[in-house]
């Protein structure tokens, strides 16, 4: 298996080094046949290649079986036309990584709020309210006048269907329980479409139980009874918020992990930022 490591910025090289050490130990113990290949990127290549994501790095990511991506300092990048490409977003779009898988579980010896928690948030990763993911051209967020700003939310049947299938396939290997999260009591059309497609997919998995919950109720229930959830599937922004809440309950964002996955590619990365102030 060929894995490309992209260290990132700030503390990225340090945590990527630790991740590589773990993989080396696993490879030696289990004879996994891993081939690890590291490529500089981010601020490390901005001067030398005039890009935070050189073409050869993108080509290596595309050719690999998997990628480990360290956190990046996108706030310190110049505009895109000056080479400041967001590596995470660019790779996600180029490789159609439509499923953002975010596990949250309590661990012995780690201070936490939730005593018994082991869930996975399955986040639709390609559309929703986020302006960089919902338009073929232009942006889904715009300002017609000085005192007005608008945002477009995109929900499509195809995207709902494939994220639902990812959630049910995962749940079928776990505790066979999926919770669908929405706000269809207010967003009747967009979240109504989401519900319709998830329910269709649920019919293909008769051994997996499907529940549903409003997003605000879920935010409260996560705190009160996180042990009642197994796999949670929802749209982009809801999952972005809820997964950080879940991470805080089981020890903090510093322990949070994520997998951006598509049908042919996957990228593992930390959820937290690059923390340049503590690098080194």
Catalytic center residues: 130, 183, 216, 240, 244
Q: Facing residues of 36 across strands? A: 3
Pairing of strands 148-151, 177-182: unpaired
Pairing of strands 177-182, 209-214: parallel
Q: Which of 170, 172, 132, 166 is nearest to 152 (CA)?
A: 132
Q: Which of 275, 272, 273, 271 is nearest to 121 (CA)?
A: 271
Burial 165-195 (b: 16+ CB within 10 A, else e): bbbbebbeeeeebbbbbbbbeebeebbebbb
The rounded distance, in Å, linking the Cα atoms of 156 and 161 is 9
The rounded distance, in Å, linking the Cα atoms of 130 and 128 is 6
Q: What is the DSSP string of 134-196?
A: S-SSS-SEEEEETTEEEE--B--HHHHHHHHHHHHHHHHTTTSEEEEEE-TTTSTTHHHHHHH
């Amino acid at each position: 298996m060929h894995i490309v490591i992209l260290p990132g910025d700030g503390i990225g090289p340090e945590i990527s080094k630790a991740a590589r050490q773990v993989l080396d130990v696993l490879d030696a113990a289990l004879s996994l046949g891993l081939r690890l290949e590291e490529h500089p990127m981010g601020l490390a290549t901005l001067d030398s290649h005039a890009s935070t994501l050189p073409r050869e790095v993108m080509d290596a990511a595309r050719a690999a079986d998997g990628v480990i991506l360290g956190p990046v300092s996108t706030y310190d990048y110049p505009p895109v036309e000056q080479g400041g490409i967001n590596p995470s977003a660019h790779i996600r779009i180029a490789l159609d990584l439509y499923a953002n898988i975010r596990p949250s579980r309590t661990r012995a010896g780690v201070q936490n709020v939730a005593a018994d928690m082991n869930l996975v948030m399955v986040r639709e990763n390609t559309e929703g309210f986020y302006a960089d993911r919902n338009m073929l051209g232009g942006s889904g967020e715009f300002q017609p006048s000085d005192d007005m700003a608008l945002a477009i939310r995109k929900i499509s049947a195809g995207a709902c269907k494939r994220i639902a299938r990812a959630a049910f396939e995962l749940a079928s290997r776990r505790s066979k329980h999926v919770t669908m999260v929405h706000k269809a009591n207010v967003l009747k059309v967009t979240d109504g479409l989401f519900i319709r497609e998830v329910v269709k997919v649920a019919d293909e998995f008769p051994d997996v139980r499907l529940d549903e919950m409003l997003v605000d109720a879920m935010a409260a229930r996560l705190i009160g009874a996180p042990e009642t959830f197994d796999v949670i599937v929802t749209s982009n922004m809801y999952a972005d918020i809820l997964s950080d809440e879940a991470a805080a309950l089981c020890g903090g964002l510093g322990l949070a992990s994520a997998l951006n996955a598509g049908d042919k590619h996957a990228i593992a990365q930390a959820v937290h930022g690059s923390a340049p102030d503590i690098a080194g």
